[in-house]
A and B are shown apart, each in its own frame.
Chain A
Amino acid sequence: MALPPIETVQQSEQAFVTALSDSAPLPNTYRGGPDDRGHFGAYGGRFVAETLMPLILEVEKAYGEVRHSPEFHAELKHYLTHFVGRPSPLYLAERLTRHFGGARIYFKRDELNHTGAHKINNCVGQILLARMMGKTRIIAETGAGQHGVATATVCALFDLPCTVYMGETDIARQQPNVFRMKLLGAEVKPVASGSRTLKDAMNEALRDWVSNVDSTYYLIGTAAGPHPYPMMVRDFQSVIGKEVRDQVMAAEGRLPDSLVACIGGGSNALGLFHPFLDEPGVAMMAVEAAGHGLDSGAHAASLTGGRPGVLHGNMTYLLQTDDGQINEAHSISAGLDYPGIGPEHAWLHDTGRVQYVSATDDEALAAFQLCSRLEGIIPALEPAHALAHVARIAGGLPDDHVLVMNMCGRGDKDIFTVAEALGERL
């Protein structure tokens, strides 16, 4: 695997740290962030147009009020249990474990959630917040369509009009999800600007929000964007890691040795990792999409192939030119096809707490097929990237090594893309 130009990255990081904060003390906890201005070290923050600032502050205040409210959490738990179907199982993937001949591989089965991915965890949390704030219209961006479907689903549940922005490229490759959103009553607005993928959908959602400030709540789907979204989405997704903690204790009588998750914006990875960040014995690996390969220029690996900058409300690692123009990302997986990453990951990367690696389109496709045949689970292309990394490392690990991988989505939505990649006509 090709390494990024370390010196360049470190120099620019250093410049940012110097420019943006007086000091960057080593943390005595990895779970304390962000600070009250939404910064994770030099990353995060609130980089939005002034029109949106009061709205962002309003969301922050409203979330602050419910974040530790027992009533809010009781309602959230009700919907997570009875509507989403939580807790999702922790499943020992025995055939893959035997196949790789090393670590005991567990899947956190978030692909079994209602709507087929982890995205719904966050949507239930945010829709409850939006209702409490008295908002009457919901907007969202979507890449693979999983967040769009999850948002459309909770909007149907609570009878709120929903507009989902989706790039034209993604609409073409995720037709089943587009139709699902329509069935659920959402309006899907195609975005024709830029690369016509998730980045452009987010631009368009921000333009909508700035134009409809009184009525509208922007339901961001990943742990990125302006504060408080990265923190809030992480909190709502942390249900994944909290459940894993209990489940792995029950199954193995101890904490896992390693956690693996794919990473686009990074919400499923943070959800799995965050409850374990202060457990020094738990290694964590996040797998970015290397597309056609890191050297090809056609990838979505913001951490391994990008450098810090500001986009969509936060400072984080971005795929960009020397002139600060945002590059188009590429991944076979629409859900990972984004040139940025959540700011907490940027910070976890720099601190070294989480190891960030990548897997190519081809590796993900191979893992996709392997998992389908050996486990009877058709994974989404996103967690197929995580599995591709598991495939790389599992055989070299001892057979008492407990590895938990987040199976964050199911692959039904991807069958057309995969068929095309395999040269099959449906």
Chain B
Amino acid sequence: MSAPAIATAPDGRIERRFRALAAAGRGALVTYVTASDPDFETSRAILSGLAAAGADVIELGLPFSDPMADGPAIQRASLRALANGGSARTTLDLARSLRTQDADTPLIVMGYYNPILAYGLERFAADAAGAGIDGLIVVDLPPEEDEALREAADRQGLRIIRLATPTTDDDRLPAVLGDVGGFLYYVAITGITGTRSGDTAALTQAVARLKARTDLPIAVGFGIRTPEQAAEIVRFADAAVVGSAIVDRIAAGLNADGRPGADVVDGVLGFVRELAAAVHGARGG
């Protein structure tokens, strides 16, 4: 099994962004939305405003019919997206559209393996890189099974971003930390997205343990729902990931018929501004 060393990986948007934030002494806000939730145009409008609202890294969810690691909020987001034509192809279209106006914000696709397999690993990696995507998080693809996608991604300069969790013990950590780049996503809880929140003391300790083992930036996600919680996270981690709480704002902005209301985009971006203000001010006191 040959694995290109991270050190030789070309410098990409993810590395540049985290380096710049570190130099400025700031934590990063990573925002997640599901692509095409609730529909393509609304999703495009939200995406195009995220960076200006303060998102430092954008995660774009690839809709999947059976998101078994996600809680109800993101499950429903996936179903809304699929009902309105969301697919791997439209996810890449959204990325391409974002790149016409934003050359710098790292863009990560997060999702499940089957839609990527169905698209074709080589073709997906090539098309994703061509659309301006920087990395992939594939929730149900542990290191033991990710070689084929990793090699396809490597050929296109895409980072495979892995998840570490509270159950990832020291024996397992080398497997999780090997052969990858971008950043490490620490799952704050043993659970699904959008449910309970992690305990700060335990999280601080967990991030310190990871920092001792890797130079990758550490992003913490799952259960971070408020600006205060996000600020708390970046006092000891490099980034806070907020997903379900943002997706909830999309759901709240839908009319009774499921179509987006007039202020759904503003509602989402307003919340992201609050999150960003808290995250960016967290270390300044």
Where the two chains meet, the residues of A that have a C-beta atom closer than 8 Å to any C-beta of B are 15, 19-20, 37, 45-55, 57, 193-194, 199-200, 202-203, 206-207, 210-213, 308-313, 318, 320-326
Contact = CB atoms under 8 A, between A and B. Distances in A.
Contacts of A308: 117
Nearest to B196: A211
Nearest to A326: B65
A311 B66 contact: yes
B66 A54 contact: no
Contacts of B192: 207, 210-211
Given A47-B113, A50-B164, A203-B66, A211 B195 contact: yes
B157 interface: no
A204 to B, nearest CB: 8
Contact of B176 (A19, A50, A202, A313): A50
Given A47-B141, A324-B119, A210 B163 contact: no
B117 A213 contact: no
Given A323-B118, A324-B116, A324-B118, A210 B69 contact: yes
B66 A50 contact: no
> Sorted from nearest, which 8 A-B pairs have the closest CB atoms?
A324-B118, A324-B115, A211-B191, A51-B165, A325-B65, A203-B68, A50-B163, A324-B114
A217 to B, nearest CB: 15
22 contacts: A20-B148, A45-B145, A47-B141, A50-B163, A51-B187, A51-B190, A51-B191, A53-B172, A54-B169, A55-B167, A57-B172, A193-B75, A194-B66, A203-B67, A207-B192, A211-B195, A308-B117, A310-B112, A311-B114, A321-B118, A323-B87, A323-B89
Contacts of B64: 324-325
B65 A194 contact: yes
A326 B114 CA distance: 9
The contact size tier of chain B is: 35 or more
A47 B140 contact: yes
Contact of B117 (A53, A210, A309, A313): A309
A51 B145 contact: no
B136 to A, nearest CB: 15
A325 B172 contact: no
A305 B213 CA distance: 47
A310 B114 contact: yes
Nearest to B138: A47
Nearest to A309: B114
B142 A210 contact: no
B247 to A, nearest CB: 16
A212 B148 CA distance: 31
B142 A46 contact: yes
A323 B88 contact: yes
A309 B67 CA distance: 15
A323 to B, nearest CB: 4
Interface string B140-165: 11101100100000000000001111
B284 to A, nearest CB: 33
Given A15-B120, A48-B140, A210 B190 contact: yes
A263 B282 CA distance: 57
Nearest to B141: A47
A309 B120 CA distance: 11
Contacts of A45: 144-145
B258 interface: no
Given A53-B167, A324-B118, A325-B64, 12 more contacts: A37-B144, A48-B140, A49-B163, A51-B187, A51-B191, A53-B142, A199-B66, A202-B68, A309-B114, A310-B112, A310-B140, A324-B88
B243 to A, nearest CB: 15
A320 B112 CA distance: 14
A325 B69 contact: no
A324 B65 CA distance: 9
A52 B139 CA distance: 11
B82 interface: yes
A19 B64 CA distance: 22
A320 B118 contact: yes
Interface in B40-86: 63-69, 71, 75, 82
B37 to A, nearest CB: 15
B114 A207 contact: no
Contacts of B65: 194, 325-326
A212 B166 CA distance: 12
Contacts of A194: 65-66
Contacts of A193: 75
Contacts of A322: 118
A320 B114 contact: yes
A50 B191 CA distance: 11
A310 B112 CA distance: 9
Contacts of A200: 66
Nearest to A199: B66
Interface string B19-48: 000000000000000000000000000000
Nearest to B175: A53
Residue of B69, B117, B191 with highest tally of chain A CB at under 10 A: B117
Given A54-B169, A203-B68, A49 B139 contact: yes
Interface string B80-112: 001000011100000000000000000000001
